[in-house]
Amino acid sequence: MMENRRLYSPKQIKEVLDKYGFTFSKSLGQNFLIDGNIVRKIAQGANITKDSYVLEIGPGMGTLTEELAINAKKVVAVELDRKLLPILDETLEGYDNVEVVYGDILKIDLKQLIDEKFDGGPIKVVANLPYYVTTPIIGKLLEEGLNIESLTVMVQKEVADRMMAKPGSKNYGSLSVFVNFYSNPQIVVKVPNTVFMPKPKVDSAVIKLELKDNLPDIDRAQFFKVVKAAFSKRRKTIINALSTFGFDVDKDTIRNALENSGIKAEERAENISVEDFIKLSTELPPLNI
C-alpha cells in the first residue's frame, strides 16, 4: 500500500502518473478527481456501507475506488484503459475487497458479472463517468433488468439538468422521460470543473438514480417509440408530431388514443408527463417502426 493511502492530492497523482509515464486520453473521457471532499460526497451520496456491493465504472487511477473500498463490502471496478492496470495494482494494493476487471462496460455481460462477483446482487453502481458514453452506459444499466439498487454518477451538469427536468421546463425531453420511467433521480452535489485533472470544459453534477422496484407492465418498446416520436418535433403539437413521424397509423386513430389518455391533441410533448405517455402508449395500436 502507498505511504499515504489517500490519492487525491494533485501532487500525489502527478507522482504516480510520472512514475508510469501515463498521459491522459481525451477520447476515453479521462478527467480524474483531485478533490477529496467530492470523492467522499460521492461515496456518502451513494450510501455505501459495509454491506454494499459496488460496481465502479472507470476507476482511472483508483481515487474514488479507494474511498469505496474503505466503506464497502466489495468493489469491482471495470476499466477500459490497459495502461491504468499496473497503476491500479499499486494504488489499490492492500485492499483485498477490490477487484479490477479490464473491459468495456458497454460490452461486458453485466448480469453474469453481478452473478459471479456479487452473488447476484443487489449492487450499487458508482462512477465518475467518461462523458462521451454517459447516455449509452446509463441506458444499459437501466434497461437490462439488472439487480441494481441505485446509480450514483458524475455527469455533465446539463445532462443532470435534463434527467431532473419536470414537464413544462425547457430541459424536459426524452432523456427525462427515460430516466424517470426507470428511477427516481436526485442531485447529490453540483461540481465545478476545478476538481478534475485535466479540467473539463463543462461543469458537472453527481446524480443519484434510485431504481424503481415495480415498473409498469407495458410494452416498453412501444412506449419509447411514442416518446421518441413526440420529442422528435417538440415545437409541434403532439397530434402533428405523432401523425407525421411515419407510423402506419392514421390521424383519427391517434386523435382517439390521445382523447382516451386525457391528453389534448394540441398539447406539446414538453408538457406531457411520464404517466400520460405510458397511458398513450397503451391506447395506441402497435406501432410499426
CB of 186: closest distance to ligand SAM in angstroms?
Answer: 20
In the complex with ligand SAM, the residue whose CB is nearer, 21 or 214, is 21
Angle subtended at Cα 172 by Cα 167 and Cα 173, rounded to the nearest 5 degrees: 120
Number of helices (H) and strands (E), helices first, in the chain?
12, 9
Count CA atoms closer than 13 A to 223's CA, side-chain side: 19
Counting residues that bind ligand SAM (by CB under 6 A) gives 23
Binding flags for ligand SAM, 60-89, as an x/- string (CB under 6 A): x--xx-------------xxxx--x-----
Residues between 112 and 171 that touch ligand SAM (CB under 6 A): 128, 130, 133
List the x/- string, 169-208, binding to ligand SAM by CB under 6 A.
----------------------------------------
* Binding span for ligand SAM by CB under 6 A among 23-31, 202-210, 232-240, 245-253: 23-31
Q: What is the DSSP letter of 170?
A: T
Distance in Å, CB of 132 to ligand SAM, minimum: 7
Q: Would you state the cell numbers that stand for residue 249, as one nine-digit string?
A: 397509423
Q: How far is the CB of 106 from ligand SAM (least distance, A)?
A: 5
Positive or negative CA dihedral for 275, 277, 280, 286?
negative
Phi, psi of 64 (to 5 degrees): -75, -35
Site for ligand SAM in 86-105 (CB under 6 A): 104-105
Give the nearest distance from C-beta 61 to ligand SAM in angstroms. Answer: 7
- Out of 12, 22, 30, 272, the only residue in the binding site for ligand SAM (CB under 6 A) is 30
For the residues of 28-97, what is the DSSP string, one character each?
Answer: GT--EE--HHHHHHHHHHTT--TT-EEEEE--TTSHHHHHHHHHSSEEEEEE--GGGHHHHHHHTTT-TT
Three-class secondary structure of residue 264 per DSSP:
coil
User: Which residue lies nearest ligand SAM, judged by its C-beta?
Assistant: 58
Q: Assess 28 for contact with ligand SAM (CB under 6 A).
A: yes
In contact, 2 and 91? CB cutoff 8 Å: yes
Q: Summarize as ranges the residues that interact with ligand SAM (CB under 6 A).
A: 28-33, 57-60, 63-64, 78-81, 84, 104-106, 128, 130, 133
